[in-house]
Amino acid sequence: MGLQGTSRFNRRAVKVSEAQQRVLAAIQPLHTEKAALWQSGGRRLAEKLVATSDWPPFARSGLDGFAIRGADAAQASPEHPVTLRVVDAIAAGQVARERVGPGTAVRIMTGAAVPDGADAVVMLEQTADAELDGQPAVRVKHAAVPGQNVAPPGEEFRRGSALAEPGAVIRPGHIAMLGSFGYAELPVYARPRVAVFATGTELLPVDAPLEPGKIRDSNSAMVAAMVVQYGGEPVVMGTLPDRVDAVVEALTAALAVADCIVTTGGVSVGDYDVMAAILSRLKQQGRNSRQACQNREGAEGTMPVGGEGAESTMPADVEGAKPHDCDAVERFSCDGTLLPEPESAVSPDGEDDSNRSIEAELHSLFQDDSRVLFDKVAMRPGSPTSAMLLGGKPLFALSGNPGACFVGFELFVRPALSRMQGDPEPLPLAVEAELTESIIKGSPHERYVRAKLLMREGRVLAEPLGFGKSSMMASIPEAEALLVVPPGSKGVSSGERVKLIPIQR
């Protein structure tokens, strides 16, 4: 079915930063759920968590030694030690049976509650065993002051104080801290379920023997691994032939089970690039929608668009219609969303039943909140990389070339997954490094070169990796960052400082 026609070349490239902002503006965090404390590592917190008590909840010994009254050992020294009678011994989790009074001490272990009456702890190394009137005693050889080696109640946290904010990545330290306050489960954002499939009649399963003109589908497994790396749950849906009906059927199935879709291949301008065909049709429907709105708004009985002194008249036969509410009078909304139409209304005259059926499937696929976000990016490699919303869910159509697919995922899918998981700053933080060797190849657009990071004499260096063509896979496993080469005819020289986007390892 020839969906593209001459319009397949009508694609305006947007800058990477603009494409990223379009994606992030279209995506909201997913729903929240509870995760067991020990299983929450790496997830993002969905709610602010506060201390349920003061911490520590009691005066706590900071080391092994003796709990005493500071006043009893204020003048102690190695030459003039103070001898105190030992009245009790306690370990962590125990409470002293005896109060510390003048001239007495309690043997105490790290983390144990300081007994009543004591206000200091002398470390074991500053004492010596002794006897006093035939009873166990301790000889204190260093001066002590009140508060010494004692953590007072609430020293770290007061009840109600913040422990962690929404969007924070839960790390092992969080788990230890939150467990101390009784949080057995944590409110977290759901992990995005990401449907992954590749298009291309030339693709074989990974375990299939090679055939003439065929290659194995390695992209799907790579994308699935990257989804896991960035907190998502992949749903691998296999490979699809270069047929619009097969891809539409797969996308429809994916929308039912996933929060996001990633496809590889079929986004260029060839005769068999099926994802580009679908993008082109969705974009055309958006243009039709806007034109229909303009025609309707300019017609008699509706509100004109702009124009000084224009009257506000509404369609008399449409209940509850509002200005610019084209849903009430057209099958398209003014924001470019294609609304479902009867099958008979969507197929141009002269098309056969097969094409009518595919057109109907396309209209079913392009439900509310479906629109193209971008269909070309000013970057190398991967300029045909595209994104759209289907029923409010993002779809990323990445290049079939492994290197370009890798770059497209890092630049667009990665921040989208972060936003879905509640990251308040989903774009990866860029850093600078010194280039180890020149990149002489220029480009009219930003070029993203896979690079390795090095440390030499305290300097961070970026080493471009060989085999940098988009279709070459040799450098992907070693890539630790994407090196950004600014647009221009001469590239960048060795020793220059360049921007890097680190890759999660």
CATH number at residue 239: 3.40.980.10
Instruction: Say whether both 288 and 402 belong to one domain.
Output: yes
The three-state (H, E, C) secondary structure of 84-142, written as one string: EEEEEEECCCCCCCCCCCCCEEEEECCCCECCCCCCEEEEHHHEEEEEECCEEEEEECC
Instruction: Say whether both 370 and 410 belong to one domain.
Output: yes
At 136, which amino acid appears?
A: P
Closest CA to 451 of 466, 432, 429, 430: 466
Instruction: Say whether both 473 and 387 belong to one domain.
Output: no
- Alpha carbons 130 and 76: distance in angstroms, whole number: 15
pLDDT of residue 302: 45
pLDDT in tens, 12-25: 899 999 999 999 99
Looking at residue 479, which CATH number applies to its domain?
2.40.340.10
Instruction: Say whether both 258 and 400 belong to one domain.
Output: yes
Decide if 311 is inside a domain: no
Distances, alpha carbon 139 to alpha carbons 48, 61, 62, 96, in Å:
49, 19, 20, 20
Instruction: Say whether both 212 and 261 belong to one domain.
Output: yes
Cβ–Cβ under 8 Å, residues 59 and 151:
yes
The three-state (H, E, C) secondary structure of 330-344, written as one string: CCECCCCCECCCCHH
Residue 203, phi then psi, degrees to nearest 5? -90, 140
Instruction: Say whether both 387 and 435 belong to one domain.
Output: no
- pLDDT tens string, the chain, 505 residues long: the values are 444 443 445 778 999 999 999 999 999 999 999 999 999 999 999 999 999 999 999 999 999 999 999 999 999 999 999 999 999 999 999 999 999 999 999 999 999 999 999 999 999 999 999 999 899 999 999 999 999 999 999 999 999 999 999 999 999 999 999 999 999 999 999 999 999 999 988 888 888 899 998 989 999 999 999 999 999 999 999 998 888 888 999 999 999 999 999 999 877 766 557 888 888 888 877 666 666 666 666 655 543 433 333 333 333 333 333 333 333 323 333 343 333 333 333 334 444 555 666 677 777 787 778 899 999 999 999 999 999 999 999 999 999 999 999 999 999 999 999 999 999 999 999 999 999 999 988 888 999 999 999 999 889 999 998 655 554 677 889 899 999 999 988 889 999 999 999 998 7
- Name the domain boundary from 419, 444, 459: 419
**Maximum Cα interatomic distance, the chain, rounded to a whole number of Å:** 115
Q: Map tokens 């270069």 to a residue.
A: 242
57, with CB counted inside 10 A (0-12, 13-18, 19+), is: middle
pLDDT of residue 419: 97
User: How many domains are there within the chain?
Assistant: 4
- Alpha carbons 149 and 476: distance in angstroms, whole number: 53
Instruction: Say whether both 377 and 485 belong to one domain.
Output: no
Q: What tokens does 137 get?
A: 């005693």
Closest CA to 76 of 128, 29, 114, 16: 128
Instruction: Say whether both 85 and 218 belong to one domain.
Output: no
Decide if 320 is inside a domain: no
Decide if 319 is inside a domain: no
Cβ–Cβ under 8 Å, residues 136 and 21:
no
- Alpha carbons 266 and 3: distance in angstroms, whole number: 13
Closest CA to 451 of 407, 408, 486: 407
pLDDT of residue 474: 78
Instruction: Say whether both 41 and 96 belong to one domain.
Output: no
Decide if 278 is inside a domain: yes
Decide if 317 is inside a domain: no
pLDDT of residue 290: 64
Instruction: Say whether both 486 and 341 belong to one domain.
Output: no
Cis peptide before 209 (omega within 30 of 0): no
Instruction: Say whether both 86 and 123 belong to one domain.
Output: yes
Residues 6+ apart with CB under 8 A from 107: 66, 86, 88, 89, 90, 138
- Alpha carbons 193 and 396: distance in angstroms, whole number: 14
pLDDT of residue 424: 94
Centre a 10 Å sphere on the Cβ of residue 360 and count the other Cβ atoms it contains: 19
Q: Where are the beta strands (DSSP E) in 334-385?
A: 371-374, 379-380
Decide if 424 is inside a domain: no
**The pairing of beta strand 431-435 with beta strand 497-502:** antiparallel
Mean pLDDT computed over every residue of the chain? 84
pLDDT in tens, 324-353: 333 332 333 334 333 333 333 333 444 455
CA atoms within 13 A on the CB side of 181: 24
- Alpha carbons 57 and 46: distance in angstroms, whole number: 27
Centre a 10 Å sphere on the Cβ of residue 403 and count the other Cβ atoms it contains: 24
Looking at residue 179, which CATH number applies to its domain?
3.90.105.10
- Name the domain boundary from 151, 178, 205: 151
- Alpha carbons 312 and 322: distance in angstroms, whole number: 10
**Percent over 70 (pLDDT), the chain:** 81
The parent domain of residue 237 ranges over: 5-28+192-302+325-419
Decide if 307 is inside a domain: no
At 362, which amino acid appears?
A: L
Centre a 10 Å sphere on the Cβ of residue 84 and count the other Cβ atoms it contains: 26
Instruction: Say whether both 217 and 269 belong to one domain.
Output: yes
Residue 17, phi then psi, degrees to nearest 5? -60, -40
pLDDT of residue 289: 64
